[in-house]
Amino acid sequence: MNPIQILRILWVRRIIIFAAMLSAVAGGVLVMLILPPRYMATSRVVLDLVKPDPISGAVLQKGFADAYVRTQLELIRDYQVTGRVVDDLGWADNPDMQAAYAARSPGDDRDFRRWAAQSISLNTSAGLLDGTNILEIHSVGSNAEAARAMADEVRKAYIDATLGDSRADALHSSQFYAAQAQKAKVSLEQLEVEKAKFEQATGVVLQDNKHDVDDDRLRALTSTHLHQIKMRNTPEVDKVSVAKLDAAIDVASRTLGPNNPQLEALRAQRVAIADENAMKTAPAANPITMQEQHLAAANQMIDAQRSKILSESNNLSRAEEIQAAIALRRDEYSKASTRSAQLLTNSGGTETGIAPLGAAQTPLKPKFPNKPFILGGTLVLGGAFGVLLALFLEFLGRRVRNASDLTAVISAPLLAVVPNTAARESIWKRLRPRLPRLRIGFLQRRRRVAEA
């Protein structure tokens, strides 16, 4: 079947198509007249997805941000939010709502709050504005003012629910970290007691810098011993000062008198320094000097201290293990206490990462019914249904309306086509008797118009 044949069929069945179109449009008009109008109001919030947490400094990554947005869209229609709206609007004391609840279906066993919250959820939707962090909350109501109030209440309940969840999570986490800090504190106290008992029993005292007291004492003795050896090998003889004093005395003796007090002071100072140098360089009467005695005693002390450290190497290792465990528990306690304090601060805060953006505007025209959309849609749907119905009826009883219809089903050659003059003659016979009357009526109307 070619397109020309289809158009010919549709033209023949045009009455069916027009009837289907008119029926669909009439149905759309009836819907607009019967169903009440519905208004939609929109309120907005800004999601601070890129803003870091004020305490921890954490920032949401892209994958987590997408999941966060989807979660917020579902949360807006959740019972946790819509139940708050029911309470804030006071529907439990509204006679109209109570009457509607009493007229519900017999199989509905929900309580009033959940029933009313479900109706709010069905009339609420949300979506993220493309390319922004702005979340739009849409509420549909029977009148414009009710829709505006509902949009603002849903947004307020959503922010309150988010804040409540954030505080509850922070408080729960704070309690968890506080318990961890308490465990670390108890363990730390036990280790401190064990360390004290171990030091009492072994005499090994390990400081926080992991150096034993005996080890530190050995280092100090060794340093002192080396200093004494250096002093012994390099006696400090002040030859420079003696030479300077000799030169000063020679100059003063030329200009000053022999009994001048200044000259006498220089001579006395020179004698004192010379005596001190003589004591440093003079050989000792005893082969073992006092300095050597001190060095020998220092060597003995160093050897004794070194032997003590070697004998207590096992105790030192155990002491280091205890000290390392104490440092670990102290670090755990510090971190857990700090985190608990941070989360406790969050549990009393007002930061939700959601900021309201203006107030909802009262809609000027209803969202439903959209008259142009309904009329245009019913016209298109009715026309499509009429075309399908016409083709269906044609296939139920095919007819031959021209030569192409005949040659399409019969392979025999077409010799001639006889025109259908009977239909034309019958139409002419019906119209010819009426022509004089139509002409007379036309002339009479022209005469009346001319007289007027």
> 390: Cβ–Cβ under 8 A, 6 or more apart, which residues?
9, 10, 13, 16, 17
pLDDT of residue 36: 85
Q: What is the DSSP string of 383-406?
A: HHHHHHHHHHHHHHS----SHHHH
The per-residue pLDDT for 211 is: 46
* Top-confidence residue, 412 or 58: 412
The amino acid at residue 17 is I
Which is more confident, 67 or 232? 67
Better pLDDT: 366 or 118: 118
Q: Name the most confidently modeled range: 56-60, 119-123, 367-371, 402-406.
A: 119-123
pLDDT band at 79 (very low <50, low <70, confident <90, very high): very high
Crossing angle for the helix pair 79-89 and 112-122, to the nearest 10 degrees: 110
Position 422 in a domain? yes
Asked if the model's pLDDT at residue 309 lies above 60, the reply is: no
Contact 306, 222 (CB under 8 A): no
For residue 58, pLDDT beyond 50: yes
Looking at 270, 294, 311, the residue that finishes a domain is: 311
Residue 129 reports pLDDT greater than 60: yes
Residue 212's closest CA among 314, 303, 309? 309
Does residue 158 carry a pLDDT above 60? yes
pLDDT at 165 (0 to 100): 85
**Mean of the pLDDT values across residues 397-404?**
73
* Per-residue tokens: 3: 């397109």
Decide if 390 is inside a domain. Answer: yes
Within-domain flag for 192: no
Cα–Cα distances (Å) from 312 to 72, 213, 214, 326, 393, in that order, read 65, 12, 10, 21, 111
Q: How far apart are CA 29 and CA 380, in angstroms?
A: 14
Q: What is the 3-state secondary structure (H, E, C) of 4-46?
A: HHHHHHHHHCHHHHHHHHHHHHHHHHHHHHHCCCEEEEEEEEE
- Residue 25: predicted pLDDT: 92
pLDDT class for 284, splitting at 50, 70, 90?
Answer: very low
Q: Using the predicted structure, report yes or no on whether residue 234 has a pLDDT greater than 70.
A: no
Contacts 24+ apart (CB under 8 A), 374-380: 374/28, 374/31, 374/32, 375/25, 375/28, 375/29, 377/28, 378/24, 378/25, 378/27, 378/28, 379/21, 379/24, 379/25
Burial of residue 261 (number of CB atoms within 10 Å: 0-12, 13-18, 19+):
exposed
**pLDDT for position 427:** 54
Tell me the two tokens of residue 145: 């003012």
pLDDT of residue 44: 92
Mean pLDDT, rounded, of the chain: 77
* Predicted model pTM: 0.56
Distance CA 138, CA 152 (A): 10
Q: Are 288 and 278 in contact (CB under 8 A)?
A: no
Average pLDDT for residues 302-320, to the nearest whole number? 63
In a domain, residue 339? The reply is no
pLDDT tens-digit map of 85-100: 999 888 889 898 899 8
- What is the distance between the alpha carbons of residues 434 and 447, in angstroms, rounded to a whole number? 20
- pLDDT number for residue 213: 47
Is the pLDDT assigned to residue 191 strictly greater than 70?
yes
Q: Identify the helix (H) or strand (E) that includes residue 1.
A: none
Question: How far apart are alpha carbons 53 and 330 in whole angstroms?
Answer: 27
List C-alpha distances in Å: 128 to 47, 133, 222: 10, 7, 75
Structure token pair of residue 181 = 């800090």
The kind and range of the H/E element at 258 are: none
Q: pLDDT confidence of 286, banded at 50, 70, 90?
A: very low
pLDDT number for residue 363: 86
Residue 48: what pLDDT?
Answer: 77
In a shared domain, residues 215 and 306: yes
> Does 106 reside within a domain?
no
Q: What are phi and psi of 137, to 5 degrees?
A: -110, 120
Counted domains in the chain: 2
Domain that holds residue 222: 205-311
Mean pLDDT of 344-368: 81
Spacing of C-alpha 238 from chain mean position: 78
Q: How far apart are CA 272 and CA 278, in angstroms?
A: 10
Domain end position, chosen among 268, 293, 311 = 311
Q: Which residues contact 238 (CB under 8 A, 6 or more apart)?
A: 273, 276, 277
Highest mean pLDDT among 165-169, 174-178, 305-309: 174-178
List the structure tokens of 289. Answer: 């000097």
What is the rounded CA–CA span in Å between residue 331 and residue 387?
A: 82
Q: How confident is the model at residue 218 (pLDDT cuts 50, 70, 90)?
A: very low
86 in a structural domain: no
Is a pLDDT exceeding 60 seen at residue 53?
no
Which tokens hold the place of 75? 């949360």
Mean pLDDT of 164-189: 89
Min mean pLDDT across 30-39, 51-60, 161-170 is at: 51-60
427 inside domain: yes
Residue 155 pLDDT > 90, yes or no? yes
- Domain edge (last residue) among 291, 311, 331: 311
Over residues 140-149, the mean pLDDT reads 89
Residue 451 pLDDT more than 60? Answer: yes
